[in-house]
Amino acid sequence: MKRPDTVGMGSASARSLWVVVALFEAVTPGMSFSRREWPPHVTLASPFVVEAPAEDLARAVESAGGDEWPLRVRFGGRAMFGARHDVPVQLVESADVVALHERLAVVLETMPGFVARDPRHWRQGYRPHMTHVPTVAVHTGDSRELRSMALAELAGPTATVIAAFDGSRM
């Protein structure tokens, strides 16, 4: 993986809530959006905290990124996620995405102070999926390519991209 583009790493708290996602289109550091209106993405590492500087976290994510970009995914059936089962998702089938999740888990879980917000969604409980976005229609059997990866800080209702790894440069 090439060096990440980063922004604002000095301002991120060591106890921030983080997430790692793969996207179909590149994003840039500093982009912020409502957590309810993410660009289409596949979550690679669900929300977690670490007691490490953002720069170290970005390097750890980069180290797990691998060289197999872009990642081809095939969409499976629909499901409902979330604590109340009210979040519509499209399941994703990809051995490469599962392998990337595992590499991220190995690296992130060894960082100081690592805590997964919901450990049931890590390792054996990981189910690759794309949260439904009204402007994106995919059907069971459709295939697409994930082209980039991002580390985002979650603060209240907002997600901010802190580091972006563009697959076209990997």
Residue 9 has pLDDT above 60, yes or no: no
* Percent helix, strand and coil across the chain, each to the nearest 5: 20, 40, 40
Q: What is the pLDDT of residues 150-170, one digit of tens each?
A: 999 999 899 999 999 976 554
| Prediction pTM value | 0.88
Q: Which domains does the chain have, with CATH numbers?
A: 5-169 (3.90.1140.10)
Check: CB of residue 160 under 8 Å from CB of residue 32: yes
Widest pairwise Cα distance in the chain: 42
DSSP state of 8: -
